[in-house]
Chain A
Amino acid sequence: MRDAFVRALTELAGEDPRVLLVNGDLGFGVLTDFIERFPGNYVNAGVAEQNMTAIACGAALTGARSYTYSIGNFPTLRCLEQLRNDVCYHHADVTVVAVGGGFSYGQLGMSHFATEDLAILRALPDMTVVAPSDPWQAYALARQLHARGGPAYLRIDKSRAGLPEGHVILGEARQVRDGDDAVIFATGGILGEAVAAADTLAAEGAAVRVIDVHTIKPLDAAAICDAARICGHVVTLEEHNIVGGLGAAVAEACLDGGVALRSFQRLGLADCFPDIVGDQAWLRARYGMDRAAVLAALRAVL
């Protein structure tokens, strides 16, 4: 996903000289091609995320189309007030790119788990929040975000759902499995766990709909309400705290839309900080957000 984003950004720099990538001193080897081809569209702000965001914002207010790039919580939580006061309040054309969403850096420890970012960024007025599920989608959504302009947050994680390349439209939830017995809403690469669970249940005769909510904000509330109304049983899946993220957004949409649900289950991190490490798949299993957890949640209600 990360390489797909960088490929999109490299193309965009070739097409649009206003592109400015403000790096937070990361991306060894990953950004080399971009830096060599577009040195005038690149600056490394060093290990200083507040200033990285400020430089990107000041440049954007002066005609640049800015991107900030870092990992985990560094380009979001570390400089949250710069995002709120400077980027969002001024409607500055800044797209924040964080690689390492969720447990991507699962062995590195709590500092590197990005598990509250969706909730916090979603609460910022004027901020678009996107979490692609596959590399092809990261590429397509990066290009669509550029066409739309910032403020935006692009959350890239190391996993991939593994779905075939298809059509994706920024702001439109995407159905990837059909069914009326229950619906799973998922965001990011963890979508693959939802699909695996749905496919297992399909073999057992249950038709579970799966919807890829790659755009958390603005939320496609109409599509979410339609699916929830038809299916009745709702499961949300996110590599993120269950507080404030996708599950909360879906719950808000359903309540706002007057959708009466038969059941509602949020799968994700249960409002805690993991104090152990492991790879992404292991941590998903340990914290109840893998395919087995999805299966258990659905079997409890179907």
Chain B
Amino acid sequence: MKIEPIAPPDTVDLALRLRRHVVRMCSRGGSSHVGSCLSMADIIAVLYGDTLRVDPTDSSWAGRDRFILSKGHAGACVYAALAERGFFPLADLDHHYANGSNLSGHVSHKGVAGVELSTGSLGHGLGIGAGMAFQLRRMGGDQRVYVVLSDGECDEGSNWEAILFAAHHRLGNLCAVVDYNKLQSIAPVAETIALEPFADKWRAFGWAVERIDGHDHQALKVALARSGQADRPTCIIADTIKGRGVSFMENQVLWHYRSPQGEEFAAAMRELGVEARDA
């Protein structure tokens, strides 16, 4: 058993709760992308548990930091984080994927407090984040913008337009986090459209780059904090494991699509410390 890196218990505990929520949501809803959610659960837990200045009682507070999930297919994890932070009741998570629900498979802002941007088509979030960062700086604000992308999403050319723009304008208030789990839609990234040397690409485009273990909360906190001091945009390349936290989902493309049901659901929840009858 891998020993968790040293980190304050709050975000580690939050990450565990997010993992339980997303497995439950994907099971109940019969929905896909559980692997993508588990992959970034630590990133989201550190952002929502530590980094982001947000007010759950006033989701449109002008002084808030902006968070965009550009890999919108992992929306369940963000919904869970928002509910855990008190933006809306945890019980609402039960409606994910249900008929008539606002909690769509791809993250949506409509009727969901705390979501800044609806996404789902890849390659949209970083440009919008750059626009937000540009406008925040125009207004003299100290708010920051964080955008989480997937690795496969970096195939989209629109990202590279935004990467050029953000570097040219030295948007130090913009931080991209790439959930680099090395598996995209149907095959490994390296066998699809290779991104390596990935860090060098961002660096060559003029970004500050941190490459860290995306499941190491302390490393995430340090990198995210350091991004706030940069005079240019920061990219945190977070090495992650798709499906992290449920052994049989880890590094399996299958779990980009499969919904955990029956014994698979029970086994997944057991690994996350919950007996199925309590799940």
Contacts and interface: CB of A to CB of B under 8 A. Distances in A.
Contacts of A90: 109, 117-118
Contact of A61 (B120, B132, B158, B169): B132
27 contacts: A43-B169, A46-B165, A48-B165, A50-B158, A54-B127, A54-B128, A54-B130, A54-B131, A54-B161, A55-B131, A57-B131, A58-B127, A58-B129, A58-B132, A59-B131, A59-B132, A59-B134, A60-B131, A61-B128, A62-B66, A63-B62, A81-B124, A85-B120, A85-B124, A89-B118, A90-B109, A90-B118
B148 to A, nearest CB: 15
Contacts of B139: 62-63
A48 B161 contact: yes
Contacts of A56: 131
A150 to B, nearest CB: 14
Contact of A58 (B130, B158, B161): B130
Contacts of B116: 61
B134 A58 contact: yes
B161 A40 contact: no
The 8 closest A-B pairs by CB, nearest first: A58-B131, A54-B127, A51-B161, A59-B135, A48-B161, A55-B131, A62-B135, A58-B128
Contacts of B165: 45-46, 48, 51, 55
Contacts of A50: 123, 127, 157-158, 161
B277 interface: no
A51 B165 CA distance: 8
Contacts, number: 92
A92 to B, nearest CB: 9
B109 A86 contact: no
A185 B132 CA distance: 41
Contacts of A89: 110, 118
Contact of B162 (A43, A51, A59): A51
B128 A57 contact: yes
Nearest to B120: A85
Q: Most A CB atoms within 10 A — which of B118, B121, B165?
A: B165
Instruction: Please classify the interface of chain A as helix (H, G, I), strand (E, B), loop, or mixed, using the class held by over half of its residues.
Output: helix
A64 interface: yes
Q: Most A CB atoms within 10 A — which of B62, B127, B136?
A: B127
Nearest to A94: B131
Nearest to B119: A85
A55 B157 CA distance: 15
B2 interface: no
Contact of B130 (A55, A64, A82, A86): A55
Contacts of B134: 43, 55, 58-59
A270 B130 CA distance: 41
Contact of B135 (A20, A51, A53, A85): A20
Interface string B156-198: 0110011011000100000000000000000000000000000
Interface in B4-56: none
A234 B110 CA distance: 42
Contacts of B120: 85
Contacts of A40: 138
A57 B134 CA distance: 11
Interface string A63-105: 1100000000000000001100110011000000000000000
Contacts of B110: 89
B93 to A, nearest CB: 23
A51 B131 CA distance: 9
A219 to B, nearest CB: 26
Interface in A188-220: none
Contact of B124 (A48, A55, A62, A82): A82
Given A81-B121, A85-B124, A62 B136 contact: yes
Contact of A64 (B66, B129, B133, B138): B138
B180 to A, nearest CB: 22
A177 to B, nearest CB: 45
Contacts of A63: 62, 135, 139
Contacts of B117: 61, 86, 90
Contacts of A59: 131-132, 134-135, 138
Contacts of B121: 81, 85
Given A43-B134, A53-B127, A54-B127, 17 more contacts: A46-B164, A50-B157, A54-B130, A58-B130, A58-B134, A59-B134, A59-B135, A59-B138, A60-B131, A61-B117, A64-B138, A81-B121, A82-B127, A85-B118, A86-B117, A86-B128, A90-B118
